[in-house]
Amino acid sequence: MKPFILFIVFSFVFFPIMAQNHYWNQQYGATNTLCGGAEVAGVRDNSALFYNPGAMGFITTNKISLSANIYEANIVKLKNVAGEGRDAQSFRALIYPQFIGGSYVFKKAPKLKIIYATMMRNRSSVRFSVQNEMNYDVIKGSPGLEYYKSRLDFDYHSIETWGGIGFGYRINDHFSTGVSLFASYTNLETITTVALSADAEFATVPYIATVDQYASLRMDHVNFIGKIGFAADFKPFLFGLTITLPSAKIFGTGTMTKSLEGHNLNLHSTDTVSPFFQYPSFLVSDQQKGLSTQYKQPASFAIGAEYKWKRVKLKFACEYFLSLPTYEVVHGKEESFIRPSSAYGGKTLKGFMVVKTNAVQVFNVSIGGAFRFVKNFKVLTGFRTDFNNRMSFSPTQLNVGVNSFNPSYWHLMHFGLGVSYNKGASDITVGFNYAFGIAADRRNGINLNDPTQEGFLRGETEKNLRTNVNNIGLIIGYTYYFRSNLRGNEDTKQQQVIEW
């Protein structure tokens, strides 16, 4: 009978939204997560496909792996996100597989190793609404204060899955190299709705001025990503280096729907006429399907080191992600006509069906440790940074001076602490992962207070945003070893691993 290892990980995790903005949001395996993901140098399991393909050459057994987050919840509170006192909160529960993979060691070529896997790189889900009802002096030409009502609805869902295969080769007892080849699939959908209205009078006749916006983007995108890795083993020191190549597009398609509608604006001679829309009412709307999409993932460089001394194992890793200059995610046809067409002469609103984004450079650091104080117990601990790249995919109307809602950004600091206990053929790992957010930009996404007509019935954005992001996760891992009498070289022994 071949040896069989059963490894189960139950995760009760609270993670933030907008995972595309965080490169180190997801880690793989209970031990790796609790140790901060500092696995560039010392990884020796199937997650080497992701952490460092160069370490695959040091793997000595065949393995099959499966891991999953049993429960994940997103809890985010944003104070003043839509103006002073206009707060938002999102809570979403998610369940999804985390890592499924296997490895193979060739009996006739034991220095050559193969790992194949599919993994969940990112998953985000957020939904919230903010509204305001109050009297303001919105329309300067209208007597007194106007009753004003506004509402913002925001929906964002994304999922990013990687599947790939890696090849590792042990050059000698001290050096190994490898390469991983991935196909990444990204599905993203974002919807923003803004409804604004103000009651007013014109020559004693009451009327309602309104501005409504709707913007949605849905895209499916497939990229190719390559990673090269090197690993060195000079016990008690281990070292690792990886180079992740920038993504290359394989396929991408999307659908974008947008509308910008205003009624009864600038009716009074004393009103400020908007620079583009010369008439009291206007409508621009369009939907385009089958658009070519771009979703770029930057190149990165990572290094790591690990030291083992008696009952102590210390780990370190860092990774630098290059910036991405502004690029077009989608670019639709320039056929968004301004209505009524008789008033605007068939003009189109240039750039109306364009979404652009960019990413700033990011440098993340992780440290971890495993400490064996008594014979069968290990204490696991780790820390990692997770800085925000400020990437955004929400369609806007900034090209015509209409401020649109943009998601807020924050950095994350992760801490892990747990224990691992071994008894006979079983390993049990229990721990907590905690993260808190630090605001990267204090400017709120939209201001539903102090509206003005020249501001399209909204106020100027302010730098008073406060984020309250506190994420905690419970991780429970169980490993059971089924063993039998084995013969042969260590490199040819077979072993199966199932991680939950």
Task: Say if CB 412 and CB 22 are below 8 A apart.
Answer: yes
Task: Say if CB 188 and CB 217 are below 8 A apart.
Answer: yes
- Residue 408's nearest CA partner among 472, 462, 483, 486 is 462
Is pTM beyond 0.85 here? yes
By the 10 Å C-beta count (0-12 exposed, 13-18 middle, 19+ buried), 55 is classed as buried
Query: How far out from the chain centre does Cα 63 lie?
Result: 29
Task: Say if CB 143 and CB 94 are below 8 A apart.
Answer: no
pLDDT above 60 for 416:
yes
What's the token pair of residue 140?
A: 């300067």
* Residues in a beta bridge with 1: none
Distance CA 15, CA 91 (A): 10
pLDDT above 70 for 455:
yes
Q: How many CB atoms lie within 10 A of CB 110?
A: 14
- pLDDT tens per residue across span 159-189: 999 999 999 999 999 999 999 999 999 999 9
Half-sphere exposure of 206 (CA within 13 A, CB side): 6
pLDDT at residue 462, rounded to an integer: 87
Segment 339-352 shows an average pLDDT of 83
In angstroms and rounded to an integer, the radius of gyration of the C-alpha atoms of the chain is 27
Q: Is the peptide bond before 236 cis (omega within 30 degrees of 0)?
A: yes
Distance CA 347, CA 340 (A): 10
Distance CA 327, CA 355 (A): 9
Which amino acid does the sequence have at 325? P
More confident residue, 486 or 222: 222
Segment 444-471 shows an average pLDDT of 86
What's the token pair of residue 493?
A: 């022994």
What's the token pair of residue 7?
A: 């490894």
> CA geometry: angle at 182 spanning 191 and 93, to 5°?
40
pLDDT above 50 for 16:
no
Distance CA 453, CA 279 (A): 13
For 387-439, where are the E strands, in sequence order? 410-423, 426-439
- pLDDT tens per residue across span 290-327: 999 999 999 999 999 999 988 999 999 999 999 999 99
What's the mean per-residue pLDDT of the chain?
Answer: 83
Task: Say if CB 159 and CB 95 are below 8 A apart.
Answer: no
> At a CB cut-off of 8 Å and minimum separation 6, what does 22 contact?
16, 122, 386, 387, 388, 389, 412
- pLDDT tens per residue across span 224-235: 999 999 999 999
* Residues in a beta bridge with 162: 119, 184
Give 402's DSSP letter.
B
pLDDT at residue 211, rounded to an integer: 92
Half-sphere exposure of 480 (CA within 13 A, CB side): 4
At residue 72 the predicted structure's pLDDT band, cuts being 50, 70 and 90, is low
What's the token pair of residue 258?
A: 């947008």
Among 44-53, 84-93, 396-405, 430-439, the minimum mean pLDDT is found in 396-405
Segment 454-479 shows an average pLDDT of 81
Distance CA 20, CA 388 (A): 9
pLDDT at residue 331, rounded to an integer: 93
More confident residue, 417 or 406: 417
Distance CA 215, CA 398 (A): 13
> At a CB cut-off of 8 Å and minimum separation 6, what does 287 contact?
255, 256, 257, 258
pLDDT at residue 471, rounded to an integer: 77
How do beta strands 312-321 and 300-309 pair? antiparallel
**Percent of the chain residues topping a pLDDT of 70:** 82
pLDDT at residue 401, rounded to an integer: 61
